Amino acid sequence: MQNLILPLKEIAFNLYWSWNPEVVEIFNEINQDFWNWSGHNPVKFLNLMNEEYLHHAIEKKHLGERILNVYNDFHNYLNKKKYFEEKYYSPDSPLIAYFSAEFGLTECMKIYSGGLGVLSGDHLKSSSDLGLPLVGIGLAYNHGYFSQLINKQGWQTENYELNDFKNLPIYLLRDDKFNPIQIEIQFPNSIVTVQAWVVHIGNIKLYLLDTSLPENRVEDRRITDILYGGDNEKRISQEIILGIGGIRLLDKLGYDIKAFHLNEGHSAFLCFERIRRYMKKHNVSFTEAKSICYYSNIFTTHTPVPAGIDIFSQDLFVKYFKDYAEKEIGIKVEELFHEGDLTKNNPENNKFNMAFLAINNSNFINGVSRLHADTSRKMWMLPDTRSQIEYITNGIHTQSYLSGYSNAVYSRYFGNDYEFDEKIWKHIDEIPDDDIWAMRIMNKLKLIEFCRERIRQKWIQQGADKIKLKEVTGILNPKALTIGFARRFATYKRGNLIFRNLERLKKLTSSSERPVQFIFSGKAHPKDEGGKNLISEIISYTRDPDLKNKIIFLDNYDIDVAKNLVEGCDVWLNNPRRPLEASGTSGMKVIANGGLNLSISDGWWDEAYSPENGWKIDSIINDKVSLDERDNFEANSLYDNLEKNIIPLFFTRNSSDIPELWIKLIKSSIKNLAGYFNTGRMVREYCDKFYMKVK
């Protein structure tokens, strides 16, 4: 028999598998329990599974041909001519470097916390689809972001699991002689050595910088330990590794990068390092070098609130940059410090702002939705001489969030190789209502199974007996209108808005003819008491006898939970305080799965909403109205929408029990939105508006 383990291993080491449902299905069929145990990690799966068993399972389940087929698909994918090559040309080495503090690629790589990371991950996936000559730079967090467990008291607890790099789809970066490639950075009291791991995402490489080396001091090894943890000193150290270390690595690899994309301000120290190198190479002044490097930096801002931005004290900045400024660049550290200020040379200023550093050094600045760019302009009051803030609205990597059932339906009508662009979705009306409805039912059943199994596992861990475990079958109702709310529990996202009028909510959930149910999920930042209180409040509602089994909370929101939710929910709820949601992307993930959006007109929905695409929750945008009054008004609009529009539409059925008007809405939402709100369009926009404009 042919050795099928080698092609499987090759597939496992490229995250292409994370958006190919057939690969995941093959691992599931080899051994589902082991696949789940591995945390959906094919490298761990293959490394730790008994090889004889593996051969046996492949043979017994006749998986050989399917493995060879996906192996061929994989290579065809890598080799086919793509957008960039057709429109521009095909360079030998990457031209664009994309820097981000987090990357959300797949659930087993815990180096992301939420939306920003998932967006970075999707940016890389779409760059691969489009054949863009781009590399990613990030950090290899040894512990990553926390896993969430809600304890019996209903309180979030955090657990930092080790990212076992030896059993992940990544390689240590080595040179021709197999020695690890390393770079060094001078810190105040030590020289920190940095190594890098490489992740393959289709044709794209992502380099993750790592300081956990035996030659480093113990405290230096911990710089790249966890994501968004620790104090400001830890933060500035991480950002030095990311920005300065990232540039040094690209240089060491010999890449001639033309455009540098700063996804959020965490990587902005790269501006200093680029200037320093340019000065040295061309023997020019700081100001001259700065004015040139400026043209090839692009800064994407993601937060409309000043509190969301990294700010360092002058003392801390001087501690880390005095030697760098004076010995390595040859200017006073004060001069470098002013780069982190918008009103330069203001003697009162004693704070260094990473976003301002990025703004001062980027020719192109963009927000992530139309409304967010407006908000950012107002927030920063940029001087007229500075380039304006434009917008490129966020998207999602559609294929990564499409359920197996949805994919099967689209393949049946559009062919196996259909592309996720506007053209294809225009044909959505050609799919009969029955098939769309069957897809909805299957997606929802899968979600309900997923929820029940999660809760069953949790109960088992808590020592539940057999009788208790039987209760899981009573959780959620496949016939009910299912509404999802899952995102970070930041207070501005108002996870508890639907509970504002408990009586009105209970009326909806207790109807037996027109049942409605809700699924919640999300993590609060470990230091955000407000967010944790919101979670605890929702947990207490899930224990209310009237709401039990109709309102549930899933622990540990991650890409896996997100995927299941966006596949299965009928309606996706989003009710942030306008205009604080920069874009929001989870609502985009439901579209092609046939879910519909009910949202405040904020972020992307401010652009996407029309009565043909979903529903809008009315909001008050007036600072004179108290927050309490605004919440009441907006909660009422939410209930009104559900009572008058959404529930009647969902439960009005034809003689075959199909809600024709509901499906009409699904189809127009797909037709109007799916082709635009995706990272294929988004990355093309970055390419046309910026990357390819750099000389």
Ligand X SMILES: *Cc1c(COP(=O)(O)O)cnc(C)c1O
> What CA–CA distance (Å, rounded) separates 618 from 605?
12
Per CB under 6 A, which of residues 105..134 are in contact with ligand X? 114-115, 118
Pick the closer one to ligand X by CB: 585 or 637: 585
Which span (35-43, 50-58, 463-471, 583-591) binds ligand X, by CB under 6 A? 583-591
Task: State the number of CA atoms in the 13 A half-sphere of 192 facing the CB.
Answer: 27
Q: How far is the CB of 673 from ligand X (least distance, A)?
A: 15
Pick the closer one to ligand X by CB: 143 or 589: 589
Kindly report the length of the chain.
695
Q: How far is the CB of 542 from ligand X (least distance, A)?
A: 20
* Cβ atoms within 10 Å of 253's Cβ, excluding its own: 18
Which span (193-201, 449-457, 558-566, 626-634) binds ligand X, by CB under 6 A? 558-566
Pick the closer one to ligand X by CB: 353 or 586: 586
Which span (165-173, 311-319, 510-518, 585-593) binds ligand X, by CB under 6 A? 585-593
Give the 3-state secondary structure of 253-288: CCCCCCEEEEECHHHCCHHHHHHHHHHHHHCCCHHH
Query: Do residues 336 and 320 make contact, with C-beta atoms less than 8 angstroms apart?
Result: no
Pick the closer one to ligand X by CB: 584 or 614: 584
Residue choice 538, 562, 571, 635 for contact with ligand X (CB under 6 A):
562
Pick the closer one to ligand X by CB: 586 or 672: 586
Pick the closer one to ligand X by CB: 360 or 366: 366
> What CA–CA distance (Å, rounded) separates 245 from 184?
8
Q: What is each CA distance from 633 to 242, 493, 512, 541, 627, in whole angstroms?
A: 44, 16, 28, 22, 10
Q: How far is the CB of 598 from ligand X (least distance, A)?
A: 13
Pick the closer one to ligand X by CB: 264 or 339: 264
> What CA–CA distance (Å, rounded) separates 693 from 695?
6
Pick the closer one to ligand X by CB: 211 or 521: 521
Pick the closer one to ligand X by CB: 192 or 559: 559
Pick the closer one to ligand X by CB: 115 or 169: 115
Give the 3-state secondary structure of 174-202: ECCCCCECEEEEECCCCEEEEEEEEEEEC
Q: Which amino acid is at 18?
A: S
Which span (144-152, 417-425, 552-560, 625-633) binds ligand X, by CB under 6 A? 552-560
Q: What is each CA distance from 144 to 105, 139, 474, 531, in whole angstroms?
A: 13, 9, 35, 20
> What CA–CA distance (Å, rounded) separates 164 from 166?
5
Q: How far is the CB of 585 from ligand X (least distance, A)?
A: 4
Which span (123-131, 353-361, 379-387, 554-562) binds ligand X, by CB under 6 A? 554-562
> What CA–CA distance (Å, rounded) separates 72 from 465?
47
Residue 586 sits in the site that holds ligand X (CB under 6 A):
yes
The contact mask relative to ligand X for 481-520 (x = CB under 6 A, - = no) is ------x---------------------------------
Q: How far is the CB of 567 from ligand X (least distance, A)?
A: 12
CA angle 99, 100, 106 (to 5 degrees): 120
Residue choice 39, 121, 584, 680 for contact with ligand X (CB under 6 A):
584
Q: How far is the CB of 541 from ligand X (least distance, A)?
A: 21
Residue 522 Ramachandran class (φ > 0 left, ψ -120 to 50 alpha, else beta)? left
Q: How far is the CB of 602 from ligand X (least distance, A)?
A: 11
The contact mask relative to ligand X for 587-606 (x = CB under 6 A, - = no) is --x-----------------
Instruction: Dig out the tokens for 205 from the structure.
Output: 């490489």
Strand ranges, E, within 273-402: 297-300, 311-313, 351-353, 364-367, 389-391
User: β-strand 204-210 against 259-263: which pairing, if any?
Assistant: unpaired
Of 559, 556, 554, 590, the residue nearest 572 (C-alpha): 590
> What CA–CA distance (Å, rounded) separates 638 from 37?
40
Which span (87-95, 134-142, 275-283, 580-588) binds ligand X, by CB under 6 A? 580-588
Residues contacting ligand X: total by CB under 6 A: 12
Cβ neighbours for 129, distance < 8 A, ≥ 6 positions apart: 82, 83, 202, 397, 680
Q: What is the DSSP string of 557-613?
A: --HHHHHHHHHH-SEEEE---TT--S---HHHHHHTTT-EEEEES-TTHHHH--TTT
Q: How far is the CB of 171 from ligand X (least distance, A)?
A: 25
Q: How far is the CB of 304 from ligand X (least distance, A)?
A: 13
Q: How far is the CB of 524 from ligand X (least distance, A)?
A: 13
Which span (16-24, 182-190, 582-590, 629-637) binds ligand X, by CB under 6 A? 582-590
Residue choice 38, 403, 496, 585 for contact with ligand X (CB under 6 A):
585
Q: How far is the CB of 503 from ligand X (least distance, A)?
A: 29
The contact mask relative to ligand X for 301-320 (x = CB under 6 A, - = no) is --------------------
Pick the closer one to ligand X by CB: 368 or 480: 368
What helix, strand, coil percent values describe the chain, rounded to 5?
A: 50, 15, 35
Instruction: Dig out the tokens for 507 from the structure.
Output: 């009326």
Q: What is the DSSP string of 462-507?
A: TT--HHHHHGGGGSS-TTSEEEEEES---GGG-TTGGGSSHHHHHH
Pick the closer one to ligand X by CB: 133 or 531: 531
> What CA–CA distance (Å, rounded) separates 405 from 21?
10
Of 194, 225, 199, the residue nearest 211 (C-alpha): 194
Residue 393 sits in the site that holds ligand X (CB under 6 A):
no
Q: How far is the CB of 645 from ligand X (least distance, A)?
A: 22
Quote the crossing angle between the two packed helices 433-461 and 660-669, to the nearest 10°. Answer: 90
Q: How far is the CB of 211 from ligand X (least distance, A)?
A: 26
Q: How far is the CB of 398 from ligand X (least distance, A)?
A: 12
Residue choice 559, 569, 592, 673 for contact with ligand X (CB under 6 A):
559
Q: How far is the CB of 18 from ligand X (least distance, A)?
A: 12
Pick the closer one to ligand X by CB: 118 or 357: 118
Pick the closer one to ligand X by CB: 404 or 648: 404
Residue 206 sits in the site that holds ligand X (CB under 6 A):
no
Pick the closer one to ligand X by CB: 239 or 558: 558
Pick the closer one to ligand X by CB: 547 or 559: 559
Query: Do residues 433 and 675 make contact, with C-beta atoms less than 8 angstroms apart?
Result: no
Residue 558 sits in the site that holds ligand X (CB under 6 A):
yes
Q: How far is the CB of 521 from ligand X (least distance, A)?
A: 9
User: What does the buried/exposed string (b/e) look like for 483-506 if buried means 16 or more CB atoms within 10 Å of the residue's CB?
Assistant: bbbbbbbbbebbbbbbbbeeebbe
Which span (93-101, 171-179, 581-589, 665-673) binds ligand X, by CB under 6 A? 581-589
Residues lying near ligand X in the complex (CB under 6 A) are found at: 114-115, 118, 487, 557-559, 562, 584-586, 589
